[in-house]
DNA sequence: GTGAAAGCGCTAACAT
DNA sequence: ATGTTAGCGCTTTCAC
């Protein structure tokens, strides 16, 4: 009897507990006005029967579906498919969402979205109509997508935005302090004794690139170092551009002794460029990245970088979306925004000059 | 009007097309006995209203829920959470599932499962009762979990098993040829001129370890090379064990000139061990791995390895689970088993002796 | 504090 | 070839 949970309905529970289905529903939903005795007998019946409410029936009948959707960029997914690689960011995101969903008895659905489609608006509202999720989690760069935010607002679906950069008054915002993180890692280099620091920035279209660059420059200034424009290059977040960037930097008359790349892929490229030029890292050149991608740990030497708290941000996002957990009632101004701490991972690629 | 898909029901479509809801349902489900004219007008109305069937209503009323569940190991997830890393395997799996679900208009739900729980049986059947998925995708090592298979069978839920190793008559099996892949990569080493080949095997508890070792030995024999037991070590799939393994191998009187590790992490450890011993790779020692983890590309030199077709296996799994796509009617014996091709990725870590 | 009845938006039998 | 009716398993009014 104990394993046969399939087919057990609220009527079975009600019958066993000798109450009405409404009472069972009340207990299950933690509503008020339920006598302890009734609650007790219902809970017993639920346990004995191995009952669990049917998700479809709940979302059809009620206003809450208990479903959270992670929207995934289709173009990016196809790209990953082609290259045969997974998506570390997405993986960490999901991990955070899953951990939180489990606690709140929520369900996680993953949906592919073609953000470039001309029919995006319609696609999205059709999807929302079909699933009626209780909340949606948005990731960069789509956390800022105006059409997406509009559709979500119109449909009255709650949403959390990871790393939003614009429209900072809409939805739940979950972020990390990119600027401060860049400043921290730069200060780490300065404290190692470096005075000629270079930065391989990301594409200026991304405001994360801008923030990281700002953090870099802020650290220099705070330590009385001049910002030398010839030591700041713009890459495109790829391994190649990091490699090329470091080649240019090493060709300068006055070489930098440390390079901070705006992401790990570029830093890894820089590492390879340094090796190709016969420079020992960190003896002759220190290299730092940003993101803490899986490869950062396995490069030689392992990469000093900033670990983005992706899973933690995702968990925070889910927490804000789920009423059960939301009950804590934070101060009103905090309500819709949360900054999650990052971590500076100091590894072998940075050190004092040998 | 066009954006307001939320709230549009089958009744609205029926009214607009001037037909009954049953006719709309017929068209939507591609049932027979529908006149072209009716189909046409329904499709027009659907398009005009931006209608999409409500998932909950469908699964509640019908026998098909259009939901596929990817079961994810909770313990593993927590471990990843702690380490702050994503799960590349899972990510690639999902990618394949998503791509296939999109085509069939299916939905992907991700569920955490505590395979170690004493209440596993009950947990699973409760979950199945709550979601009523149309299919479940199982990943190693849980593709072989007897309790899981039993519960699934009892509940009558279809399931696909990625890389099954036992009970090869149950469910849909999707696999790659581990043995042949190991043989291929070993042959690659032999063809480079190596004659003293070592193997760092995985834990013998995993049958993948066994198969890879068999492939390794088969390649040796086919090329008239003796299998030297002193050159076969057992690791535990960790970086550390690869490092220690290669240290032991390099301490031998007659060193091997090539090492095939049963997974990338161990191969990466071997790479580091070789570097520590002052051996150039591949000039003095060739190193090959298995899996093609993300780090394999970024090691120095990049790792020669076998790319497991995880996404492709997942896609195949989903395809077998989804009736719409299943329609192709393969030869009966093929019906429930599919072997997906792997890829030998030759990179810088293997080459002839310098 | 508890229960009866009416849907939620579909699909599935059964009409016709 | 098309329509009518009755549920699926819950939540939600609204009674008591």
Give the CA radius of gyration of chain A: 25
CB-based contact A270:A299 (threshold 8 Å): no
For chain B, what's the residue count? Answer: 354
pLDDT band at B297 (very low <50, low <70, confident <90, very high): confident
Q: What value does the mean pLDDT take over residues B281-291?
A: 97
Burial A292-311 (b: 16+ CB within 10 A, else e): bbbbbbbbbbbbbbbbbbbb
Short-list B341, B326, B330, CA closest to B106: B326
Instruction: Using CA coordinates, name the residue in chain B closest to A345.
Output: B84
Helix boundaries (H) for chain A: 10-17, 21-28, 36-49, 55-61, 74-83, 88-104, 120-131, 146-155, 178-191, 207-222, 239-250, 264-276, 295-298, 310-321, 323-326
Rounded to the nearest angstrom, the minimum Cα separation between A227 and chain B is 31
| Cα dihedral value B25, B31, B36, B38, nearest 10 | -20
For CATH 3.40.50.2300, list the domain ranges present in chain B.
67-176+311-341, 178-307
At residue A29, does pLDDT exceed 70? yes
Angle between helices B264-276 and B239-250 (to 10 degrees): 50
Short-list B223, B191, B182, B226, CA closest to B351: B191
By percentage, how much of chain A surpasses pLDDT 90?
Answer: 83
pLDDT (0 to 100) of residue A3: 40
In the three-class reduction of DSSP (H, G, I as helix; E, B as strand; rest coil), residue B316 is classed as: helix
At residue B331, does pLDDT exceed 50? no
Q: What value does the mean pLDDT take over residues A335-340?
A: 91
CB-based contact B109:B69 (threshold 8 Å): yes
> pLDDT tens digits for B51-96?
999 999 999 998 889 999 999 999 999 999 988 888 889 999 999 9
pLDDT (0 to 100) of residue B157: 94
- Who has greater pLDDT, A5 or B98? B98
Chain A neighbors of B343, CB-CB under 8 A: 84
At residue A258, does pLDDT exceed 90? yes
> pLDDT tens digits for B240-251?
999 999 999 999
């068999």: which residue's tokens?
A: B214
DSSP B74-119: HHHHHHHHHHT---HHHHHHHHHHHHHHHHHT-EEEEEEE-TT-TT
pLDDT (0 to 100) of residue B3: 40
**CA-CA-CA-CA torsion sign (A338, A145, B84, A237):** negative
Range of weakest confidence among A83-87, A247-251, A266-270, B228-232:
A83-87
Evaluate if the CB of B19 falls below 7 Å from strand D. yes
Using CA atoms, how far apart are residues A103 and A321, in angstroms rounded to an integer?
13
- Which residues does B123 contact at the CB level (< 8 Å), separation at least 6? B113, B114, B117
Using CA atoms, how far apart are residues A38 and A28, in angstroms rounded to an integer?
12
At residue B1, does pLDDT exceed 80? no
CA distance readout (Å), A238 to A3, A243, A276, B92: 52, 9, 18, 21
Range of weakest confidence among A14-28, A99-113, A135-149, B5-19:
B5-19
Rounded to the nearest angstrom, the minimum Cα separation between B16 and chain A is 18
Number of H helices, E strands in chain A: 15, 12
Which two three-digit tokens encode residue A168? 């900072």
- Who has greater pLDDT, A3 or A269? A269
**pTM of the prediction?**
0.90
pLDDT (0 to 100) of residue B63: 83
Chain A within 8 Å of B210 (Cβ-Cβ)?
no
Short-list A157, A169, A242, CA closest to A203: A242
pLDDT (0 to 100) of residue B4: 45
pLDDT (0 to 100) of residue B230: 96
Residues of chain A numbered 12-41 and touching chain B (CB < 8 Å): none
B305-307 and A135-138 beta bridge pairing: unpaired
Taking the C1' atom of D3, which residue's CA lies nearest? B20
pLDDT (0 to 100) of residue B75: 94
Evaluate if the CB of A276 falls below 7 Å from strand D. no
Strand partners, B72: B112
CB-based contact B8:B45 (threshold 8 Å): no
At residue A217, does pLDDT exceed 90? yes
Which two three-digit tokens encode residue A103? 């606690």
Using CA atoms, how far apart are residues B36 and B269, in angstroms rounded to an integer?
65
Quick count: other Cβ atoms within 10 Å of Cβ B242? 30
Quick count: other Cβ atoms within 10 Å of Cβ B2? 11
pLDDT band at B334 (very low <50, low <70, confident <90, very high): low
> DSSP letter at B304?
B
Using CA atoms, how far apart are residues A239 and A270, in angstroms rounded to an integer?
8
Give the CA radius of gyration of chain B: 25
Angle between helices B88-104 and A74-83 (to 10 degrees): 120
B310's enclosing H/E stretch is helix B310-321
Phi, psi of B261 (to 5 degrees): -95, 145
Q: Does domain A178-307 have CATH number 3.40.50.2300?
A: yes
pLDDT (0 to 100) of residue A308: 93
pLDDT (0 to 100) of residue A294: 82
pLDDT band at A4 (very low <50, low <70, confident <90, very high): very low
The CATH number of domain B67-176+311-341, selected from 3.10.20.600, 3.40.50.1980, 3.90.550.10, 3.40.50.2300:
3.40.50.2300
Give me the CA A130–C1' D5 separation in Å, rounded: 25
- Averaged pLDDT of chain A: 92
pLDDT band at A218 (very low <50, low <70, confident <90, very high): very high
CB-based contact B70:B94 (threshold 8 Å): yes
Give ∠ CA B16-B19-B22 in degrees, rounded to 5.
120
> DSSP letter at B144?
G
Instruction: Using CA coordinates, name the residue in chain A closest to B2.
Output: A122
A174's enclosing H/E stretch is strand A172-175
At residue A207, does pLDDT exceed 50? yes
Peptide bond into A282 cis (omega under 30): yes
Using CA atoms, how far apart are residues A69 and A134, in angstroms rounded to an integer?
8
A343-345 and A305-307 beta bridge pairing: antiparallel
Chain B within 8 Å of A132 (Cβ-Cβ)?
yes
pLDDT (0 to 100) of residue A6: 57
Chain B within 8 Å of A9 (Cβ-Cβ)?
no
At residue A10, does pLDDT exceed 60? yes
Using CA atoms, how far apart are residues A80 and B239, in angstroms rounded to an integer?
25
By percentage, how much of chain B surpasses pLDDT 70?
Answer: 95
At residue B5, does pLDDT exceed 80? no
By percentage, how much of chain B surpasses pLDDT 90?
Answer: 82
Nearest CB among B56, B112, B299 relative to A98 is that of B112
Q: What value does the mean pLDDT take over residues B329-333?
A: 49
């006055």: which residue's tokens?
A: A254
In the three-class reduction of DSSP (H, G, I as helix; E, B as strand; rest coil), residue A343 is classed as: strand
Give ∠ CA A143-B72-B143 in degrees, rounded to 5.
145
Under CATH, what is the fold of the domain A10-53?
434 Repressor (Amino-terminal Domain) (1.10.260)
Strand C bases within 7 angstroms of protein beta carbons: 1-13
Short-list A106, A126, A309, CA closest to B110: A106
Phi, psi of A116 (to 5 degrees): -90, -5
Using CA atoms, how far apart are residues B66 and B183, in angstroms rounded to an integer?
40
For CATH 1.10.260.40, list the domain ranges present in chain A.
10-53
> pLDDT tens digits for B142-185?
999 999 999 999 999 999 999 998 999 999 999 999 999 999 99
Residues of chain B numbered 277-296 and touching chain A (CB < 8 Å): 292-295
Rounded to the nearest angstrom, the minimum Cα separation between B320 and chain A is 19
The number of angstroms, rounded, from the C-alpha of B74 to the middle of its chain's C-alpha atoms is 17
> pLDDT tens digits for A30-80?
988 889 999 999 999 999 999 999 999 999 998 889 999 999 999 999 999
Chain A neighbors of B128, CB-CB under 8 A: 5-6
At residue B34, does pLDDT exceed 90? no
Q: What value does the mean pLDDT take over residues A12-18?
A: 94
């Amino acid at each position: 009897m104990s394993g046969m949970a399939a087919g057990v309905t609220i009527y079975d529970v009600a019958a066993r507990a000798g109450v009405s289905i409404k009472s069972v529903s009340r207990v299950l939903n933690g509503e008020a006005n339920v006598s302890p005795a009734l609650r007790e007998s219902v809970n017993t019946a639920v346990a004995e029967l191995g009952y669990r409410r049917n998700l479809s029936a709940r979302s059809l009948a009620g206003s809450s579906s208990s479903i959270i959707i992670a929207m995934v960029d289709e173009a990016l997914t196809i790209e990953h498919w082609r290259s045969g690689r997974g998506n570390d960011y997405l993986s960490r995101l999901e991990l955070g969402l899953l951990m939180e969903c489990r606690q709140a008895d929520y369900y996680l659905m993953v949906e592919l979205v073609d953000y470039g489609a001309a029919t995006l608006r319609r696609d999205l509202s059709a999807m929302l109509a079909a699933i009626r999720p209780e909340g949606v989690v948005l990731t960069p760069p789509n956390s800022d997508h105006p059409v997406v935010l509009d559709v979500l607002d119109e449909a009255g679906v709650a949403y959390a935005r990871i790393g939003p950069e614009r429209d900072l008054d809409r939805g739940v915002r979950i972020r990390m302090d990119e600027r401060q993180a860049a400043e921290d890692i730069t200060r780490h280099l300065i404290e190692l004794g470096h005075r000629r620091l270079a930065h391989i920035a990301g594409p200026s279209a991304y405001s994360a690139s801008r923030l990281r660059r700002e953090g870099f420059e802020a650290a220099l200034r705070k330590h009385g170092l001049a910002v030398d424009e010839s030591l700041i290059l713009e890459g495109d977040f790829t391994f190649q551009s990091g490699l090329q960037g470091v080649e240019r930097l090493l060709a300068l008359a006055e070489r930098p002794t440390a390079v901070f790349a705006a992401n790990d892929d570029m830093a890894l490229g820089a590492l390879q460029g340094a090796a190709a030029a016969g420079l020992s890292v960190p003896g002759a050149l220190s290299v730092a990245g940003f993101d803490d991608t899986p490869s950062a740990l396995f490069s030689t030497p392992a990469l000093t970088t900033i670990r983005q708290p992706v899973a933690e941000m995702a968990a925070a996002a889910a927490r804000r979306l789920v009423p059960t957990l939301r009950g804590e009632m934070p101060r009103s101004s905090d309500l819709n925004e949360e900054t999650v701490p990052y971590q500076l991972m100091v590894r072998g690629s940075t050190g004092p000059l040998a």
